[in-house]
């Protein structure tokens, strides 16, 4: 006990000794301090000399790391933390508590289908560089931290085989099962968590709530080939249906999950071995409603820019702010080349390419969004009641007037002139030039090991494709991509199609490559089922791009990039090389709403049984976030959307929750599309 007491008293004893020390002792202390100070100065001098010997490369790497970390941190804080904080600091605004007090309880089982951002992936087998990561997240829920620790290893393990589209040798990455796999895409950044908590408040739990995890990198049919994901989803829906008193299931897909579940609807009816063998009445028996969140039914233009140059508006802005950082050969970084090399192994990216060609997306001189207003801060929205079927044309002209209509049909333009001049003033026969160059492709790279397929192209071919005054539409851009990314397109076009069916009764449309394209497949024979297109509006969304040749023509470089120096006039749709239209920041209104507004409305050849469809739009307001945000991912916490889902899960029909709720110009755009129904 005495020794313990002395140990506790030691600090006080030392302090009293110092205070009561003699002057000689004080001199010894000062001498000791002097020696220590000399030693410290010597260490500082040695550290300074060592610092001077550090290479320029080390300094540049640290600077680049700080820049990149700061950039992504700012993006994270802007897009993630604010919505999360708002939602969780105001629990009384969450709709489930109020609806529960009104007597609302869950009736129908709910199946959630994640998209790219919302679907977690974990490591089951890897290379030596991934030691310690067994069953750790590589994507979603904190998995992005691996990007900072070992970026090249992280990218290698997220890659698929460039020929099979399946696992590369020695690597197995699998979807994270259950609700835990998609609650958060990063620490503090909710995805499905808010909706799941609200569902739990009205009685949902494991027996009547399920997350349909799948590997979003694979083609949709390959999720069945490798993981039996479609079969497991079919079995789970059947089990939930029986375990909950034969109550039909409400399915809630998000983003790419919308196209994935569309594929499932056709797969489950199709006889084996290609399909699930459920028969023509399976959907009518098991599914009450499909509430699609942020649907990309007809694709997104940003998928084109990602394949062409691994860019979107955010990457293009960063390149403009810090020129040369992402493309630096001195640092050996070449981030975009690495990202392109990996993403071109993901078959799912091609599923997001624009569907319907020029009929849907417009040609060189026409697009459905003609006369679109780009001053989003002052745009006057109109709202239609459920009984409204058309837009008053005189009112539409007042709301949607603009001096110089944007030629959105030119999804890729090289040079600003190519994006605005009449087609008669632009070069012709672009398609023939591309096909001719494809025949004379140089497959012997002079750069050694090619980082991307661009290294297999001759400089002459690159110059011709990206020559000024060239423009590509939703039809001709496929020929462009077949030339610049032949391996990817050859592999993926066996799994996906992007056209419009002439005759849906043609037996060829029984093939799985057509099942995720709503313009090349029929909805199931389920007249009592309902389909909702639920998405945000009022946010500038990427629609087309102005490109230029990259300044450097050295080996291992992406030869094309968005021309961020190109801007339009005040309140123009063109900003930093990107033309914007209405949407939810990722998916244009045209892609999200057209099928519910027109393509499936009533009995059409795409919807022969007359399934009821509803457009449910959620309007963006300035400086909103969290519970009111309508951005593509943030909308998952939007209280209006959550209330709609809860009411449908509790048994309400589309008419009972208010029918169509439209703020955008989707009806007028739909009228302008000449599609045979």
Distance CA 446, CA 469 (A): 29
Assess whether 255 carries a catalytic annotation.
Answer: yes
Of 426, 547, 527, 529, the C-alpha closest to 480 is 547
Residue 156: count of CB within 10 angstroms of its CB: 18
Place of tokens 């024979």: 525
82 Cβ contact partners less than 8 Å away, ≥ 6 residues apart:
625, 626
Distance CA 501, CA 648 (A): 32
Q: How far is CA 144 from CA 82, 137, 141, 541, in A?
A: 19, 8, 8, 25
Cis peptide leading into residue 672 (ω within 30°)? no
Distance CA 65, CA 35 (A): 38
Coil, strand or helix: which one is 213? coil
586 Cβ contact partners less than 8 Å away, ≥ 6 residues apart:
255, 294, 296, 300, 302, 541, 542, 631, 632
Tokens of 181: 């796999």
Catalytic residue among 183, 455, 584, 644: 584
- What count of residues does the chain have? 677
Distance CA 635, CA 620 (A): 10
Catalytic residue among 159, 185, 255, 309: 255
Of 595, 598, 579, the C-alpha closest to 671 is 598
Q: Sheet of 172-175: strands edge to edge?
A: 137-139, 121-125, 172-175
Place of tokens 């399915």: 251
On whether the CB atoms of residues 80 and 86 are closer than 8 A, the answer is: no
Distance CA 110, CA 648 (A): 10
Pairing assessment for the beta strands 530-537 and 287-293 based on DSSP bridges: parallel
- Residue 563: alpha-carbon gap to chain centroid: 22
Q: How far is CA 591 from CA 290, 292, 595, in A?
A: 17, 12, 8
Catalytic residue among 534, 632, 665, 670: 632
Q: What amino acid positions are annotated as catalytic residues?
A: 255, 584, 632
């Amino acid at each position: 006990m005495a020794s313990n007491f002395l140990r506790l008293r030691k600090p006080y004893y030392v302090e009293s000794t110092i205070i009561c020390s003699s002057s000689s002792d004080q001199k010894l202390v000062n001498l000791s301090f002097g020696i220590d100070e000399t030693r410290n100065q010597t260490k500082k001098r040695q550290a300074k000399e060592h610092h001077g010997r550090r290479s320029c490369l080390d300094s540049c790497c640290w600077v680049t790391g700080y820049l990149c970390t700061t950039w992504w941190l700012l993006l994270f804080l802007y897009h993630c933390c604010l919505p999360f904080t708002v939602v969780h600091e105001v629990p009384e605004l969450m709709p489930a508590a109020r609806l529960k007090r009104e007597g609302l309880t869950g009736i129908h089982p709910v199946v959630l289908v994640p998209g790219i951002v919302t679907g977690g992936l974990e490591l089951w087998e890897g290379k030596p560089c991934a030691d310690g990561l067994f069953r750790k997240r590589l994507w979603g829920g904190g998995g992005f931290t691996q990007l900072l620790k070992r970026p090249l290893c992280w990218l290698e393990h997220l890659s698929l085989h460039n020929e099979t589209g399946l696992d590369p040798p020695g690597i197995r990455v699998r979807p994270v099962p259950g609700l835990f796999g998609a609650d958060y895409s990063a620490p503090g950044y909710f995805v499905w968590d808010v909706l799941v908590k609200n569902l739990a408040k009205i009685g949902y739990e494991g027996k009547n709530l399920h997350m349909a995890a799948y590997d979003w990198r694979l083609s949709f049919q390959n999720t069945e080939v490798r993981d039996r994901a479609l079969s497991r989803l079919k079995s789970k829906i059947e089990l939930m249906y029986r375990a909950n008193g034969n109550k039909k299931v409400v399915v809630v897909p998000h983003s790419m999950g919308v196209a994935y579940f569309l594929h499932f609807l056709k797969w489950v009816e199709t006889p084996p071995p290609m399909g699930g063998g459920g028969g023509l009445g399976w959907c009518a028996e098991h599914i009450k409603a499909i509430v699609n969140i942020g649907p990309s039914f007809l694709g997104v233009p940003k998928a084109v820019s990602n394949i062409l140059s691994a860019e979107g508006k955010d990457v293009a802005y960063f390149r403009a702010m810090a020129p040369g950082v992402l493309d630096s050969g001195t640092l050996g970084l070449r981030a975009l080349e690495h990202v392109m090399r990996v993403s071109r192994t993901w078959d799912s990216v091609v599923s997001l390419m624009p569907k319907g060609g020029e009929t849907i997306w417009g040609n060189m001189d026409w697009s459905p969004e003609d006369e679109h207003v780009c001053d989003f801060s002052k745009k006057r929205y109109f709202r239609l009641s459920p009984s409204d079927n058309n837009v008053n044309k005189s009112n539409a002209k007042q709301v949607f007037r603009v001096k110089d209509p944007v030629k959105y049909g030119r999804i890729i333009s090289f040079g600003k002139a190519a994006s605005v001049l009449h087609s008669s003033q632009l070069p012709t026969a672009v398609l023939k030039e591309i096909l001719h160059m494809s025949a004379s492709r140089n497959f012997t790279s002079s750069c050694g090991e090619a980082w991307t397929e661009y290294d297999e192209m001759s400089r002459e071919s690159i110059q011709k494709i990206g020559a000024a005054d060239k423009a590509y539409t939703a039809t001709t851009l496929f020929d462009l991509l077949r030339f610049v990314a032949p391996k990817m397109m050859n592999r993926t076009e066996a799994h996906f199609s992007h056209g419009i069916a002439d005759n849906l009764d043609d037996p060829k449309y029984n093939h799985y490559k057509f099942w995720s394209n709503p313009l090349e497949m029929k909805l199931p024979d389920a007249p009592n089922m309902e389909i909702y297109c639920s998405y945000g509006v009022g946010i500038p969304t990427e629609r087309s791009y102005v490109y230029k040749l990259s300044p450097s023509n050295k080996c291992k470089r992406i030869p094309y990039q968005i021309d961020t120096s190109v801007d339009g006039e005040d309140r123009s749709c063109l900003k930093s090389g990107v033309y914007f239209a209405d949407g939810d920041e990722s998916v244009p209104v045209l892609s999200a709403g057209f099928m519910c507004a027109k393509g499936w409305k009533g009995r059409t050849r795409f919807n022969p049984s007359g399934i009821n469809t509803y457009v449910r739009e959620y309007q963006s307001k300035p400086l909103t976030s969290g519970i009111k945000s309508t951005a593509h991912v943030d909308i998952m916490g939007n209280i209006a959307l959550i209330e709609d889902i809860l009411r449908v899960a509790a048994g309400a029909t589309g008419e009972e929750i208010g029918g169509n709720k439209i703020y955008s110009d989707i009806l007028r755009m739909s009228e302008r599309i000449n599609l045979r129904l």
